C-alpha cells in the first residue's frame, strides 16, 4: 500500500511541477485539478472521507471550471 | 537578481517547512476532540462527527464561513459588474444532443446533491459538498445552453432565506438552551443512525447546502455571463 | 528509507506542493499562472493540516456502527478534518474573487503580464 501512496505522491508532485512549467494555461489548469484529485485520494487514505469529497467536488471540479472560464475570457496563450 | 532573491526565499521556506516532518507521527485526539468523540453521540445523536463539529460545536465558525463565501461571491459580482472593456465568453452553440442530455441530467444531479446534504449527519458529505454538486448541475445547464438565464429573484430569495434560517435556528438555541446554536431541547434528538436524528444538525446542514448551492451557482453564472452584450444579469443579485 | 511512514510521505508531498506553488507565484509573470500557483499552495496547506492531525491506522470519524460508537479509541481526530473542510470552501471563494479581478484587469490593459500593473491607481 505504501508503494501505491508513493506513486500517487510522486505523480502529484510531477503534475504540480508540470502545471507551473507548462506554457499552455489550459493544460496548467487541468494539471492543478489533477493535483487536487490525487490529494483527495490521499485524504481517503488518511481516513478523512468528508474532506476527500469536498476536495474532489470543489478543488478538482468547480475550481478547475472557474479557472477554465477565466482562461477562456483572457486569451489562452501565455508567456 | 529577482531569481536569486526568489531562490533564497524558497530555500528558507523549505527549511522552515522541513522542520515539520518529525511531527508526521500518528497523533492521538487532543482533549477537546476526545470530548467530541466520547460524548458526540449522546449530545448530538449525529453519527458523522465531522458534521457534528462543523454544524454544532463550531457552528458559529461555519456561519462566519458561509458569510465569507457570500462576500466573495458578492465581491466577484461587484468587480465584474460594469460591462465596458469586458470580453464576453464566446462559444459556438452546442448541439441538440448536448442540450437534451444536460436537461435530462439536471434533475438527477440536483436530487443527488440534495441526497448528499440531507444525509450529512449520517454519512460522508454535507452542505458544502452537496452545494457543490447542485452548483455543478446548474453549470451543466449554463454550459449546454448559452442563452439560459438563472431565475435571479428566486435564487437571491432562497439564499437570503437559508442564511436567515441559519441565524433563526441559532437564536432558537439561545432562547431554549441559553447558548447560540445549541442543540439541546430545540428539536427532539431522535435515535442514533436514523435519518430523523441529530436535532438541528440536519436542518442547519440543509440550509447550508441551499445557501452554498445558490451562491456557487450565481458565482459560476457571473464568471460566465458577465460582459455579454444586452446583458442585465451580470452581477446584479 | 526503511522508516518511511505514510504520514511522512504525505507531509513531504504537502511541503513540495507549497514550495512549487510559491516558486510559481514568485517566478511567473502571468497573473493567471500566479493564481494557479496560489491554488497549489492552498492544496498543499490543506494536505499539511490534515496530515498533522491524522492517524492512518484508525477509522474515519463516522460512528455508524455499534463497535465504533462503543469504543472511542478507534476513530481519528475529527477537528482538523472539520477545519480543512471549511478551508477548502473558503479557498474556492478566494480563488474565484482573484479570478474575477484577473478578468477585470485583462479588460483594462489587454494583457496579463504582472509587470504592466505597476501603478497603484487604475
Q: What is the pLDDT of residues C38-55, one digit of tens each?
A: 999 999 999 999 998 888
- The Cβ of residue B232 has, within 10 Å, a number of other Cβ atoms equal to 9
- Per-residue pLDDT tens listing for chain B (237 residues): 888 998 999 999 999 999 988 887 777 888 888 888 888 888 888 888 899 899 989 889 999 999 999 999 999 999 988 877 777 777 778 888 988 999 999 999 999 999 998 998 888 888 899 999 999 999 999 888 877 888 889 999 999 999 999 999 999 989 988 888 888 878 888 888 788 888 888 999 999 999 999 999 999 998 888 877 654 444 444
Most confident of A30-39, B41-50, C100-109: A30-39
Enter the ipTM: 0.91
Q: Give pLDDT, residue C71.
A: 79
Q: Give pLDDT, residue C2.
A: 53
Chains in contact with B via at least 3 Cβ–Cβ pairs below 8 Å: A, C
How far from each other are the two terminal CA atoms of chain C, in whole angstroms?
A: 54
Contacts of A70 in chain B (CB under 8 A): 223
Report d(CA B53, CA B40) in Å as an integer: 9
Mean pLDDT of chain C: 87
Find the CB nearest A66 among C46, C50, C99: C99
Residue A77, SS3?
Answer: strand
**pLDDT, tens only, C85-97:** 999 999 999 999 9
Report d(CA B225, CA B229) in Å as an integer: 10
Q: Give pLDDT, residue B87.
A: 75
E strand spans, C1-122: none
Q: Give residue C122's pLDDT band: very low, low, confident or very high (50, 70, 90).
A: low
* CB within 8 Å: B89 and A73: yes
> Per-residue pLDDT averaged across C67-80, rounded?
84
Q: Is A40 on the interface with C (CB under 8 A)?
A: no
Nearest-neighbour CA in chain A from B74: distance (Å): 16
pLDDT of residue C76 exceeding 70: yes
Cα nearest neighbour of B51 on chain A: A50
Report d(CA B100, CA B87) in Å as an integer: 28
* CB within 8 Å: C81 and A79: no
Distances (CA, A) of B213 to A32, A37, B139, B159, C27: 23, 21, 11, 9, 36
Chains in contact with A via at least 3 Cβ–Cβ pairs below 8 Å: B, C
Q: Give pLDDT, residue C98.
A: 94
Report d(CA B162, CA B207) in Å as an integer: 5
Q: Give pLDDT, residue A79.
A: 46
Query: Per the structure block, which three cell numbers stand in for C90?
Result: 473558503
Q: Give pLDDT, residue B28.
A: 81
Contacts of B128 in chain A (CB under 8 A): 54, 58
* CB within 8 Å: C23 and B17: no
Query: Per the structure block, which three cell numbers stand in for A75?
Result: 486569451
**pLDDT, tens only, A55-79:** 999 999 999 999 999 998 887 555 4
Amino acid at each position: 500500500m505504501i508503494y501505491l501512496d508513493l506513486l500517487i505522491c510522486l505523480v502529484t508532485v510531477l503534475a504540480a511541477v508540470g502545471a507551473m512549467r507548462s506554457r499552455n494555461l489550459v493544460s496548467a489548469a487541468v494539471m492543478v485539478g489533477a493535483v487536487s484529485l490525487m490529494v483527495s485520494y490521499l485524504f481517503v487514505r488518511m481516513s478523512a472521507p468528508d474532506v476527500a469529497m469536498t476536495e474532489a467536488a470543489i478543488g478538482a471540479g468547480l475550481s478547475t471550471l472557474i479557472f477554465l472560464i477565466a482562461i477562456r475570457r483572457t486569451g489562452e496563450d501565455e508567456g | 537578481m529577482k531569481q536569486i532573491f526568489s531562490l533564497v526565499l524558497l530555500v528558507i521556506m523549505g527549511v522552515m517547512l522541513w522542520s515539520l516532518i518529525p511531527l508526521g507521527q500518528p497523533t492521538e485526539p487532543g482533549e477537546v476532540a476526545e470530548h467530541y468523540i466520547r460524548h458526540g453521540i449522546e449530545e448530538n445523536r449525529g453519527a458523522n462527527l465531522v458534521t457534528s463539529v462543523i454544524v454544532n460545536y463550531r457552528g458559529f465558525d461555519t456561519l462566519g464561513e458561509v458569510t465569507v463565501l457570500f462576500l466573495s461571491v458578492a465581491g466577484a459580482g461587484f468587480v465584474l459588474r460594469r460591462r465596458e472593456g469586458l470580453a464576453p465568453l464566446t462559444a459556438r452553440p452546442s448541439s441538440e444532443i448536448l442540450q437534451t442530455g444536460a436537461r435530462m441530467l439536471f434533475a438527477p444531479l440536483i436530487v443527488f446533491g440534495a441526497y448528499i446534504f440531507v444525509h450529512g449527519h449520517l454519512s460522508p458529505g454535507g452542505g458544502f459538498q452537496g452545494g457543490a454538486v447542485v452548483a455543478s448541475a446548474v453549470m451543466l445547464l449554463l454550459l449546454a445552453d448559452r442563452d439560459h438565464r438563472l431565475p435571479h429573484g428566486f435564487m437571491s430569495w432562497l439564499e437570503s432565506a437559508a442564511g436567515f434560517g441559519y441565524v433563526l435556528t441559532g437564536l432558537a438555541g439561545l432562547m431554549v438552551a441559553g447558548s447560540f446554536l445549541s442543540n439541546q431541547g430545540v428539536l427532539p434528538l431522535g435515535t442514533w443512525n436514523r435519518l430523523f436524528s441529530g436535532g438541528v444538525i440536519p436542518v442547519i446542514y440543509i440550509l447550508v447546502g441551499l445557501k452554498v448551492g445558490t451562491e456557487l451557482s450565481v458565482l459560476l453564472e457571473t464568471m460566465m455571463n458577465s460582459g455579454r452584450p444586452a446583458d442585465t444579469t451580470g452581477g446584479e443579485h | 528509507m526503511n522508516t518511511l511512514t505514510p504520514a511522512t510521505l504525505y507531509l513531504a508531498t504537502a511541503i513540495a506542493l507549497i514550495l512549487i506553488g510559491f516558486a510559481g507565484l514568485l517566478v511567473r509573470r502571468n497573473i493567471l499562472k500566479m493564481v494557479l500557483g496560489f491554488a497549489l499552495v492552498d492544496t498543499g496547506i490543506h494536505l499539511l493540516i490534515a496530515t498533522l492531525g491524522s492517524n492512518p491506522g484508525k477509522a474515519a470519524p463516522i460512528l455508524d456502527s455499534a463497535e465504533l460508537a462503543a469504543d472511542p479509541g478507534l476513530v481519528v481526530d475529527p477537528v482538523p478534518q472539520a477545519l480543512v473542510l471549511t478551508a477548502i470552501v473558503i479557498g474556492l471563494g478566494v480563488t474565484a474573487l482573484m479570478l474575477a479581478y484577473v478578468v477585470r484587469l485583462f479588460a483594462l490593459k489587454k494583457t496579463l503580464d504582472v509587470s504592466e500593473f505597476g501603478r497603484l491607481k487604475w
